[in-house]
Chain A
Amino acid sequence: MDPSSLNTAELQHFLNQEKERAMMNEMVAKLTSVCWDKCITSTPGSKFSSGESACLSNCAQRYLDLTLIIMKRFQSMQ
């Protein structure tokens, strides 16, 4: 396909959306991997214990808090 025809506004918008979607999916995948390792310490059961599901949810949120702290600290160093 001629790459120059990718310059229409419609296609740019589409590609930006897909890029955004891919980045979100990547973030969720990475976090799930990290939080699974942290929170699911025993053999997987037929459902999560309330502790396990709380841990997973907390893990994701705390990671976001951490990201914020890191950015602020980094900015204060500039």
Chain B
Amino acid sequence: MDFSSMASQAGGSNPKMPTEKFMYHFKSQMEQAYAQKFIETLGRKCFDKCVTKPGSSLGGSESSCVSRCVDRYIEATGIVGRALFKANQ
């Protein structure tokens, strides 16, 4: 991840952007990138688990599988995150 070019981008064309505004924009860009990546991952994982034979539309069981999959993956992220956090203590 190229931080200095992201940082320059967050500042835009204003050479004297106040630090606070810059930090706010930088943080929100980081959050957006994270969310996008997370959604892509969810799509891959849940497609793998729930759509084994793609039909001409998403069936009811497939749709509910995807909902559960999203919930479970978010939960899994929490479990793994906490395990790593504990280990770092």
Contacts and interface: CB of A to CB of B under 8 A. Distances in A.
Interface of A: 1-3, 5-6, 8, 10-11, 14-15, 18-19, 21-22, 24-25, 27-29, 31-33, 35-36, 39-40, 43-48, 53, 56-57, 59-61, 64
A3 B1 contact: no
B72 to A, nearest CB: 4
B76 to A, nearest CB: 5
Contact of B72 (A10, A24, A40, A61): A40
B3 A15 contact: yes
Q: What is the predominant secondary structure among interface residues of chain B facing chain A?
A: helix
Interface in B40-89: 41, 45-46, 49-50, 65, 68-69, 71-73, 75-77, 79-84, 87
Given A1-B11, A29-B38, A40 B49 contact: yes
Nearest to A21: B30
A44 B19 contact: no
Given A2-B16, A21-B30, 17 more contacts: A1-B12, A1-B13, A1-B15, A5-B16, A24-B84, A25-B34, A29-B77, A32-B80, A33-B45, A35-B76, A40-B49, A43-B50, A43-B65, A46-B71, A48-B72, A53-B79, A56-B79
Contacts of B8: 1, 3
Interface string B1-24: 101100110111111110100110
Contacts of B17: 1
